[in-house]
Amino acid sequence: FQGFVEMLVEMVDTQARGIVHNETSRKVVAPVALTVFVWIFFMNFMDMLPVDLIPAIWQHGYAAAGHDPEHAYMRVVPTADLSVTMGLALGVLLISLYYNIKIKGFFGFIKSLFTSPFHAHGPIGIICLAPANFLLNIIEFVSKTVSHGMRLFGNMYAGELLFMLIALLGASASLSLGGAALFIGHILAGSFWTIFHILIIILQAFIFMMLALVYIGQAHENH
């Protein structure tokens, strides 16, 4: 276990070194990236539990507390909820803005919003291009944040939905003449999708972490 943890830390540190070249920033950014990777991995891994296990436990607990169990709501996979993934993406955006201001200075950051990506010489050219530069930079920040959160949400939501459909396939086995075939299909589809989904769980956590490093690393670049 210790060897696995050391390998994980070294992997994240290597990626951080290749993207964030500021050593002082990396002392904070690398642990943040490691936390993001592990946190998202465990949230994604909730998809490996039986789809009705935790909702059933919550339903019984809800009834024991004197409430109507039919109104017990439990969403098992946090990253299949858009509010969670967008919250994570907004966190990355705030860190990126912080380093933009820290590295470039407040006025330097404001200046970069109006003077890049299109550069101009002379005050007239700068004034003419300032609105377009500002608009493009705002669109870039918004689009990166939205796509960052939506990518993780879309993949995990689709995976959760497929697990539910496979579970319904098994449940419908007792309601049809071809029940045995449906049950076999349920076992095979569930097994194949679980094995494949393990790769998705790891990959999506890795991609989110890498994009977080890239966006924070971009804050250290001067146009």
| Active site positions, annotated | 147, 151, 155
Amino acid sitting at position 187: I
Helix axes 106-115, 123-171, angle to 10 degrees: 90
Report the candidate in 25, 34, 81, 4 with the shortest Cα–Cα distance to residue 206: 34
Report the candidate in 149, 168, 167 with the shortest Cα–Cα distance to residue 49: 167
All residues at 6 or more sequence positions from 174 whose CB lies less than 8 Å from its CB, including other chains? none
Q: What is the DSSP letter of 70?
A: G
**For residue 74, what is the enclosing H or E element?**
none
All residues at 6 or more sequence positions from 200 whose CB lies less than 8 Å from its CB, including other chains? 44, 155, 159
Exposed, middle or buried: residue 85 (CB in 10 Å: 0-12, 13-18, 19+)?
A: buried
